[in-house]
Amino acid sequence: MSDKPFVRVSDVMTPDVKTIGRIATVAEAIELIRSAKVSSLVVERNDESDEFGMLTIRDIAREVVSTDRAAERTGVYEIMTKPVLTLPAEMNIKYAVRLLTRYNLSRALVVDHERNPVGIVTLRDMVLGYQES
């Protein structure tokens, strides 16, 4: 049994969530990714019964760049991942890591108890946070 302290997802997440509307173009998304210096964007929900989406550099590379699609004529909703895996901010990172690795994901959206986005967490964040604890 490990003597390491309990590390929560909220302890290691990046709290600044960058969002984009689902009707935005991929060209607009690329510009936001560039200016915000991030590698993913959370795609906003239509309403409270909807789920969040996520658009990553990998999605853009796979669905737009490699297929030579026009970014200015491709909608974010066409290539985003939805629904996106969400994790509660208070979750122990060992369980969060299990979820991400089970589904071969590198990041997840962190939400509060009302399902509002509060951060993004990556496997890298959690592994480094675990090591530092």
Alpha helix (H) residue ranges in the chain: 9-12, 26-36, 57-60, 76-79, 93-102, 123-132
C-alpha separations of 79 from 27, 35, 94 in Å: 12, 21, 30
Q: DSSP letter for 117, please.
A: E
> What is the C-alpha separation between 53 and 42, in angstroms, rounded?
6
- Whether 117 contacts 19, CB under 8 Å: yes
In a domain, 110, yes or no: yes
Question: What average pLDDT does this structure show over 44-68?
Answer: 96
The alpha carbon torsion through 10, 14, 19, 22 (nearest 10 deg) reads -70
In a domain, 45, yes or no: yes
Give the model's pLDDT for residue 6: 85
Confidence at 106, pLDDT banded by 50, 70, 90: very high
pTM (two decimals): 0.88
In a domain, 3, yes or no: no
Confidence at 48, pLDDT banded by 50, 70, 90: confident
Question: What average pLDDT does this structure show over 8-12?
Answer: 97
In a domain, 2, yes or no: no
Structural domains in the chain (count)? 1
For residue 108, the one-letter residue type is: A
Is the confidence at residue 82, as pLDDT, over 60? Answer: yes
| Rounded to 5°, angle at Cα 36 from 66 and 14 | 100
In a domain, 1, yes or no: no
For residue 69, the one-letter residue type is: R
Question: What average pLDDT does this structure show over 105-111?
Answer: 97
Is the confidence at residue 58, as pLDDT, over 80? Answer: yes
Determine the structural domain holding residue 46 and report its residue range: 9-132
In a domain, 65, yes or no: yes
CATH code of residue 24 = 3.10.580.10
Is the confidence at residue 4, as pLDDT, over 70? Answer: no
